[in-house]
């Protein structure tokens, strides 16, 4: 009885289908490795004829190569097809508030190399960050032994809502950035197609493709780090919102008139379950706790997790209270969106998530309505080691693949 009900004037077109079929084939090869046309047809739920047409194009363009015959199972063995991993490389970069993480992938998304640059709290000027990105990409390629000419694209994650629609500007309140035209600044110095977005989008795509959310059509992947937010896959599609700033769950109110948040508002989820918020909760319970002296926020969160694991009562109390806040925030998303899965990700989520999962589930039960509660699972992220840079590499690659058939790809993308 469930059916898709389209709002006024909305419908998919034949062009959408051609593009979707092409990407379905490419995505199967990316997610599951080399396979035959027959297997692609089965996995993509496309006719063999359609798969053959798509593959013919991809072979012509050099995106896909033949990589030998499959083992015969009685019949005529099929040709195995693979992504042409050697065609180029893409970079995936995660610009966070305490580090920049770089990863390099071939076109089958195998990791070729990675490195990380620490950022101190005062290193946050746009020109500085652009400089670090330029030298960092050069260093990444050099360390991986890949000539710069092989780079066909880079995905770069930057904190804060990211507006594609207004000339690709960045709004990063935590850094005091307002309308920074980061794409223009980067494009002057990096001469490959760039794909910029915020970590919420990259993280959910990585979990959807390579992590806990494989095949899940309604997925909420939480980024729990210094900042906090949610990436949304709704009905199988990345939800961007009308100006690409959807997912700012970290700045939804759960405590009316509560703690001051960095965004200027009060009582936001982030003020309670972001790393500084968790540390504040610990401080409220035990102002003199030794855990608080462990060092920077990364060190304090690690010390808190370690103390909880060895049974420290104060640490466990702080984590229980964190689970309560997080449970209320997660139940809000469950009640509003009725998703199939919630994934706890980013460094705080991966560190704290496994410790609080049982408390968290009990808290969510108290806040969520029964019908959406019955159908949701809460899990810890699996798109490791860095879901955001994996997602950034994947989207850069996807953009390259999607536009590779157009012939004008490189030229058009660079002049944007």
Alpha-carbon gap, residue 254 to 274, rounded angstroms: 14
Helix (H) or strand (E) holding 220: strand 219-224
Q: Which of 256, 288, 408, 411 lies at the binding interface for its own copies (CB under 8 A)?
A: 256
Q: What are phi and psi of 279, to 5 degrees?
A: -65, -35
The separation between CA 158 and the C-alpha centre of its own chain, rounded to angstroms, equals 11
**Sign of the four-CA dihedral 115, 398, 62, 153:** negative
Q: Which of 120, 149, 237, 415 lies at the binding interface for its own copies (CB under 8 A)?
A: 237
Q: Which of 332, 361, 379, 405 lies at the binding interface for its own copies (CB under 8 A)?
A: 332
Q: Which of 374, 408, 411, 415 lies at the binding interface for its own copies (CB under 8 A)?
A: 374
Residue 234 interacts with its own copies (CB under 8 A)? yes
Residue 214 interacts with its own copies (CB under 8 A)? yes
Helix (H) or strand (E) holding 102: strand 99-106
Tell me the sheet residues that pair with 379: 343
Closest separation in Å from C-beta 164 to its own copies: 5
Alpha-carbon gap, residue 209 to 281, rounded angstroms: 34
Of the pair 150, 251, the CB lying nearest its own copies is at: 251
Part in contact with its own copies (CB under 8 A); list of ranges 101-109, 127-135, 248-256, 284-292: 248-256
Closest separation in Å from C-beta 270 to its own copies: 11
> Which three-class secondary structure state does DSSP give residue 143?
helix
Residue 379 interacts with its own copies (CB under 8 A)? no
Residue 328 interacts with its own copies (CB under 8 A)? yes
Part in contact with its own copies (CB under 8 A); list of ranges 150-158, 282-290, 312-320, 331-339: 331-339
Residue 226 interacts with its own copies (CB under 8 A)? no
Alpha-carbon gap, residue 326 to 360, rounded angstroms: 7
Closest separation in Å from C-beta 54 to its own copies: 12
At what angle are helices 37-44 and 14-32 packed, to 10 degrees? Answer: 120
Closest separation in Å from C-beta 312 to its own copies: 25
What residues between 32 and 61 interact with its own copies by CB under 8 A? 44
Q: Which of 339, 349, 353, 393 lies at the binding interface for its own copies (CB under 8 A)?
A: 339
Residue 414 interacts with its own copies (CB under 8 A)? no
Tell me the sheet residues that pair with 61: none
**Cα angle 172-175-176, degrees, rounded to a multiple of 5:** 80
Residue 126 interacts with its own copies (CB under 8 A)? no
Part in contact with its own copies (CB under 8 A); list of ranges 3-11, 112-120, 287-295, 350-358: 3-11
What residues between 347 and 366 interact with its own copies by CB under 8 A? 366
Residue 367 interacts with its own copies (CB under 8 A)? yes
Of the pair 312, 324, the CB lying nearest its own copies is at: 324
Residue 260 interacts with its own copies (CB under 8 A)? no
Q: Do 303 and 309 touch, CB atoms closer than 8 A?
A: no
- Pick from 205, 196, 195: nearest CA to 239: 205
Q: Do 109 and 117 touch, CB atoms closer than 8 A?
A: no
Q: Which of 240, 262, 320, 410 lies at the binding interface for its own copies (CB under 8 A)?
A: 240
Closest separation in Å from C-beta 112 to its own copies: 23
Alpha-carbon gap, residue 191 to 148, rounded angstroms: 10
What residues between 145 and 174 interact with its own copies by CB under 8 A? 161, 163-165, 168, 171, 173
Residue 406 interacts with its own copies (CB under 8 A)? no
Helix (H) or strand (E) holding 181: none
Helix (H) or strand (E) holding 362: helix 346-367
Tell me the sheet residues that pair with 118: 99
- How does DSSP assign 300-361, residue by residue? HHHHHHHHHHTT-HHHHHHHHHHHHHHHHHHHHHHHHH--SEEEEEHHHHHHHHHHHHHHHH
Closest separation in Å from C-beta 306 to its own copies: 28
Q: Which of 96, 205, 326, 387 lies at the binding interface for its own copies (CB under 8 A)?
A: 205
Residue 120 interacts with its own copies (CB under 8 A)? no
Of the pair 183, 294, the CB lying nearest its own copies is at: 183
| Binding track over 13-32 against its own copies, x by CB under 8 A | xx-xx--xx-xx--x---x-
Of the pair 146, 224, the CB lying nearest its own copies is at: 224
Helix (H) or strand (E) holding 114: strand 111-118
């Amino acid at each position: 009885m469930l059916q898709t009900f389209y709002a006024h004037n909305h419908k998919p077109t034949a062009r959408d289908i051609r593009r979707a079929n092409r990407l379905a084939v490419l995505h199967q090869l990316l997610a599951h490795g080399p396979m035959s046309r027959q297997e692609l047809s089965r996995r993509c739920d496309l006719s063999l004829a359609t798969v053959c047409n798509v593959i013919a194009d991809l072979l012509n363009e050099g995106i896909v190569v033949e990589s030998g015959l499959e083992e015969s199972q009685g019949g005529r063995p099929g040709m195995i097809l693979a992504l042409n991993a050697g065609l180029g490389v893409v970079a995936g970069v995660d610009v966070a508030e305490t580090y920049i993480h770089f990863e390099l992938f071939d076109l089958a998304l195998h990791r070729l190399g990675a490195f990380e640059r620490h950022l101190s709290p005062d290193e946050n000027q746009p020109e500085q960050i652009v400089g670090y990105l330029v030298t960092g990409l050069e260093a990444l390629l050099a360390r991986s032994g890949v000539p710069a000419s092989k780079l066909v694209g880079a995905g770069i994650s930057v904190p804060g809502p990211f507006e594609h629609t207004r000339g690709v500007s960045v709004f990063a309140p935590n850094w005091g950035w307002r309308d920074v035209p980061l794409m223009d600044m980067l494009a002057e110095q990096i001469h490959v197609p760039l794909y910029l977005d915020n970590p919420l989008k990259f993280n959910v795509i990585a979990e959807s493709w390579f992590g806990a959310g494989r095949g899940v059509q309604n997925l909420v992947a939480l980024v729990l780090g210094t900042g906090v937010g949610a990436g949304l896959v709704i009905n199988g599609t990345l939800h961007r919102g009308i100006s690409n700033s959807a997912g700012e769950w970290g700045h939804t109110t759960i405590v009316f008139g509560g703690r001051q948040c960095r965004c200027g508002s009060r009582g936001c989820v982030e003020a309670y379950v972001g790393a500084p918020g968790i540390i504040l909760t610990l401080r409220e319970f035990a102002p003199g706790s030794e855990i608080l002296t462990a060092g920077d926020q990364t060190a304090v969160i690690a010390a808190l997790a370690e103390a909880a694991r060895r049974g420290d009562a104060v640490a466990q109390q702080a984590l229980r209270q964190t689970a309560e806040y997080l449970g209320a925030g997660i139940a809000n998303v469950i009640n509003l969106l009725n998703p199939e899965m919630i994934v706890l990700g980013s460094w705080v989520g991966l560190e704290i998530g496994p410790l609080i999962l049982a408390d968290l589930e009990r808290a969510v039960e108290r806040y969520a309505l029964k019908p959406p509660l019955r159908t949701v699972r809460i899990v810890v992220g699996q798109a490791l080691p860095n879901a955001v840079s994996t997602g950034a590499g994947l989207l850069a690659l996807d953009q390259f693949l999607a536009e590779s058939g157009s012939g004008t790809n490189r030229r058009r993308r660079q002049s944007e």
